[in-house]
Structure 1
Amino acid sequence: MLKLTIVGRVRDGLPLAQGPRYVNEENDKISTYKQQGEFLLKEISRGALPLSKMTIFLDQYSFNYMVEDGICFMVLCDSMYPRKLVFHYLQDLQEEFKKFDVGLTERIVRPYSLIKFDAIIGNIRRKYVDTRTQANLSKITSDGSQEMDVVSESFSQIVKRRRRSEMLTRMSEAHLHASPIWCSERLEIIALKWIPVGLVLAVTTVLVWSSLHRDDSLLTGF
């Protein structure tokens, strides 16, 4: 079963469309999976995941995506759903998406605002719900080259890698800003300005103290 589809822009990780929502799928789990799909889209955007095809295993499901012309087509489905059929579905989405004006999709700034494509996703999805139709069986039994170059990984590993990256970034930033005062240009200017003054005051203090001490010695000598 194809449960959730997200079409997003790679350059900034903005989700553009998600297909129609079905009553029996509107629950907390789908909302969570949607957030996870958006997370994966951001990872693709920042170059942490391949800009080609990938299968990502999560619980009893899997996210599958393909990237074409700067657009990511992603779907969440049952792990048992034929992977070759999944990528045929994504390919069909990509073919339909090419009919849209590139300028329009580039100007979108709000998430999921390409509503016109939602209906198209729904229409294509219906063709792939039943894996036993003659058309789908033909796609499954066709040449196997379609899935040979698909990388697989678990969602948990991707999350761990992201957390490790964020931790290293924080450590690096903490090191760079560990002593913002002592390493600042402002402190250097202050030091150049006031150190000579401090030296003069110190010397003057010593001279005055020596003079007073000498005077005290003279007074005690009488």
Structure 2
Amino acid sequence: MSTVVTMIGRLGDGLVLTASLQEDASATKLLEPQARAKQLLKKLHYTSPPRASLEAPPFTIHYMVERDVVYIAITERGSSQERVFSYLREVAKSFIEQYGSQVQQATRPYSFIEFDTTLQKIRRSVRGRQRVSGLSAVQTELRDVHSILQDNIDNVLERGASLSDLETRASGLLAVSQQYRSDARSLNRRSLYAKAVAASLVTGIIILYFFVL
């Protein structure tokens, strides 16, 4: 996992509470994805999907909402979702422990900029664990990543709407998937019934042929 920017904001008004850049990252190169992340933060609200991964080439913007706080990680494309959201969960745990009671009282941007020190430590710790444990770390971090919504950041921002439409689309896909499974089961049952009837007919014909005719 290569997290080049971590940003934490308040849900509702989009106030940026703190942010941190990877030590060796180019600040100029990250100006645009940071601007997009801030726009996204402004659009999120209380009915938005709790997690999503949005493509913003050459990066991906991942976000997670917990307890009225939005945690954003901007990573290089292709980064493991399992690892990114595991990292964000760890960030959320530390941030709430330190500033949970102060979030709603913050009135100015970057009120908790000193949290950058903790973010750097978490980032180094996560990298170290991944190098040591390799594939097993990924396996133990597996969560319900199939529920993480994915889209393109430009599509989301240009629609000028919140991410609630993504949630609607996801619900629609789930309903279609469930209907497909139901239809497949029904089709399988009909197929088994047809086979049973065919087998009975063949058996009946054989009996008639050998024992009756």
TM-score (norm 1): 0.65
The count of aligned residue pairs is 161
1:36 aligned partner, one-letter code? R
Native 8 Å contact 1:56 1:152 kept in 2:
yes
Q: Which residue of 1 aligns with 2:64?
A: 66
Aligned-partner Cα distance in 2 for 1:102–1:138: 32
Aligned-partner Cα distance in 2 for 1:161–1:94: 29
Native 8 Å contact 2:4 2:21 kept in 1:
no
**CA-CA distance at 1:134 after TM superposition:** 2.7
Q: Which runs of 4+ in 1 moved over 6 A?
A: none
1:30 aligned partner, one-letter code? L
Q: Which residue of 2 aligns with 1:8?
A: 9
Q: Which residue of 2 aligns with 1:75?
A: 73
**CA-CA distance at 1:101 after TM superposition:** 4.0
Aligned-partner Cα distance in 1 for 2:125–2:134: 8
Q: More deviation in 11-20 or 138-147?
A: 138-147
1:55 aligned partner, one-letter code? S
Native 8 Å contact 2:53 2:60 kept in 1:
yes
- The root-mean-square deviation of aligned C-alpha atoms, in Å, is 2.3
**CA-CA distance at 1:33 after TM superposition:** 1.3
Aligned-partner Cα distance in 2 for 1:149–1:85: 15
Q: Summarize the Cα distance change of 1:130–1:33 in structure 2 as closer, same or farther, 3 Å threshold.
A: farther
Percentage identity across paired residues of the two chains:
21
Quick check: which has more Rg, 1 or 2?
1
Q: Which residue of 1 aligns with 2:109?
A: 111
Task: Indicate yes or no: 2:154 matched with 1:159.
Answer: no
Aligned-partner Cα distance in 1 for 2:22–2:141: 33
Can you give the 5+ residue segments of structure 1 that lack an aligned partner in the other structure?
A: 164-222
Q: Which residue of 2 aligns with 1:30?
A: 30
Aligned-partner Cα distance in 1 for 2:55–2:76: 10
Native 8 Å contact 2:82 2:141 kept in 1:
no
Aligned-partner Cα distance in 1 for 2:14–2:82: 25
Q: Summarize the Cα distance change of 1:101–1:7 in structure 2 as closer, same or farther, 3 Å threshold.
A: closer
- Out of 78, 81, 91, the residue aligned to residue 89 of structure 2 is 91
Q: Which residue of 2 aligns with 1:142?
A: 140
Deviation string 1:73-111 (CA, Å, 9 cap, x unpaired) is 100001111110000000000111121243322211111
**CA-CA distance at 1:23 after TM superposition:** 5.3
TM-score (norm 2): 0.68
1:3 aligned partner, one-letter code? V
**CA-CA distance at 1:136 after TM superposition:** 5.4
Q: Which residue of 1 aligns with 2:126?
A: 128
Q: Summarize the Cα distance change of 1:3–1:106 in structure 2 as closer, same or farther, 3 Å threshold.
A: same
Aligned-partner Cα distance in 2 for 1:45–1:5: 19
Aligned-partner Cα distance in 2 for 1:7–1:19: 9
1:150 aligned partner, one-letter code? I
